Chains A and B, each alone.
Chain A
């Protein structure tokens, strides 16, 4: 299943949940991604690293079709999740996004109560039973390691939380929909070191049940939280490998230059 020539250091029996084949992405006439072919293994953390503007966030946003909202943008190639082409005509984007949750760089809780934030997803997907909603909210908040901090003020406005708490709330909100895959776009880049550590710990806990793809600027973070790392440069995928391999003995010179801080 795993192309051994491309991924010599991946275990042979690794199950790939996301596969992309020669993906090109255009903002109008500007091409942002070139021939990205990448495999993302299930229930592991894959980090996308690279200098600013290398296309890693653009690629991430292709995986739940968030780029659809950008006018005059275009995707070529194939992106499959669980062997289903997500850009095939007739694809239900709502179903896709239920399956593939997303956490953004800037924490963006809604100006509603903590409870209503987490219950937002289940509610729009038709869950009305108050008891069931309360269960989902508690479970999601516990999974994102914020339950103990907010359980006594579930009906307080989420805007009153600290930055780190807001981000964990956003993770809880994403989990409440019941996704299998979680996309994280620099989820800790706006947080202080302590909050960052908590987010990283959380990612460590979530990896047992979720496939996580995380974009990060911070190479130490990538080394700490991820199992596999893909290095992007100028819209191209330069190299993808097991994280220790990328950080100790990359195959490509560009990767090595970036890792060792020679550019970017």
Chain B
């Protein structure tokens, strides 16, 4: 009887897992099947023509990449710094609880709200205008909770023995953190952060109002320039374009490139983690 129940549970759990894999598999299959024929050098390295109905998506790729770089540059130092404070310095008091509440809330804020916030603060108030800078700052705000949580976990995973040993040898707190905590937790922090940023790279709402251009077939010159971005470009092609029904291959191609980019980021994160894991084992 008990054995039957065990088997049933196992079967049900397996079924659920397969269902998830199936859904992901189908999405991937659909995008690759329809997108792969559109992929060629001209598509990747060319500039769009006829509002994106023809030509390539190079400016959108560059735009999304520059947003990713900008987001990393802003959010990594802030997020990791915050995590170090929370994990190593902050006392477990009411103020700390308040900070944590803020982080959880921040994680739950809808992305369009971040977009509006970015429009209000960075684009208008700070006067950056719609630009890579404003977009990166907005995306950075959005991924901060992910980075802080991942980094804090990674810091707390460093065994107490290393901390005790460092301090007992006369290291100051910061020396201990710098020499015996950060090197071991860096991989976890970077991996978690890149996964979060990968998700942000595919977001449309936050960049919609802060950076993304509808059609801008040239490359940006500075961080104060507007750019096209893959998710927004895809949204335009699929829903706003007058020829939307006749450019399926362009839509799927763009989706595939975006997907590859995000997967590439995740893969990079995994490689970094493997590299560091080999370096520091305990």
Contact = CB atoms under 8 A, between A and B. Distances in A.
A104 interface: yes
B282 interface: yes
Interface in B148-165: 159, 161-165
B280 A124 contact: no
* Top 9 A-B residue pairs of the complex, sorted by shortest distance between their CB atoms: A108-B161, A102-B168, A97-B170, A121-B169, A111-B280, A98-B170, A94-B170, A108-B165, A111-B282
B239 interface: no
Interface in B72-93: 91-92
A69 interface: yes
Interface string A85-115: 0000000001101100110101011110000
B180 A110 contact: yes
Contacts of A111: 184, 280-282
B167 to A, nearest CB: 7
Interface size class of B (residues with CB under 8 A): 20 to 34
Contact of B169 (A95, A157, A177): A177
A157 B278 CA distance: 11
Contact of A124 (B162, B179, B184): B179
Interface of B: 91-92, 159, 161-172, 175, 179-180, 184, 280-282
B162 A108 contact: yes
A121 B167 CA distance: 10
A97 B169 contact: yes
Contacts of B91: 71
Contact of A97 (B92, B161, B168): B168
Given A71-B91, A111-B184, A157-B281, A121 B161 contact: no
A179 B161 CA distance: 20
Interface in A203-221: none
B185 to A, nearest CB: 12
A64 interface: yes
Contact of B161 (A71, A94, A104, A157): A104
B102 to A, nearest CB: 22
B171 A64 contact: no
Contacts of B159: 108
A170 B167 contact: no
A109 B166 CA distance: 10
A97 B173 CA distance: 13
B165 A124 contact: no
B161 A106 contact: yes
Given A66-B164, A111-B282, A173 B169 contact: yes
Nearest to B176: A124
A108 B281 contact: no
Nearest to B171: A124
Contacts of A32: none
Nearest to B180: A110
A173 B165 contact: yes
